[in-house]
Structure 1
């Protein structure tokens, strides 16, 4: 019985997470604002743990080094999908 309750709770959190996902997140930078289509990424990846290793919310330690390294750019290179050049993410001033 407890396993069914836990499974139902997990399923509910997954569905609620997708429904309540932030549409877009904006990062102002020195070379132009980055508008991150969060909900689009969440729907494409189908899960949160790929980016949010510790659960929902702000990604601990997220900065330009992470974004340009194993984070955004690294994922785009690995999946061969999405921008990998500066102007692909940074909209010039």
Structure 2
């Protein structure tokens, strides 16, 4: 398995994002509980609203599939999604082992 970084860039509509955020987080929580999503959270100010998500998967296509039904994507609240393999140089040993899927 490899690690994949996903960068989401959202529409600049705080009210709509806030309205649908609970369903978006429920979806991500289910991916975390299934052992796919390692860590995620919003990006700090600067560069517009967005988030960073780290997944453990066999291929980027697998990550795409898991994110296909994200309510933010379905509602077209994600204006850009980038999925890239991530090879951490330091600290990977500090990631908690995930259960076998």
User: Between Structure 1 and Structure 2, whose CA radius of gyration is higher?
Assistant: 1
Name the structure with the higher helix share: 1
TM-score between the two structures when normalised by the length of structure 1:
0.33
| Structure number with higher relative contact order (C-alpha < 8 Å, ≥ 6 residues apart) | 2
Name the structure with the higher strand share: 2
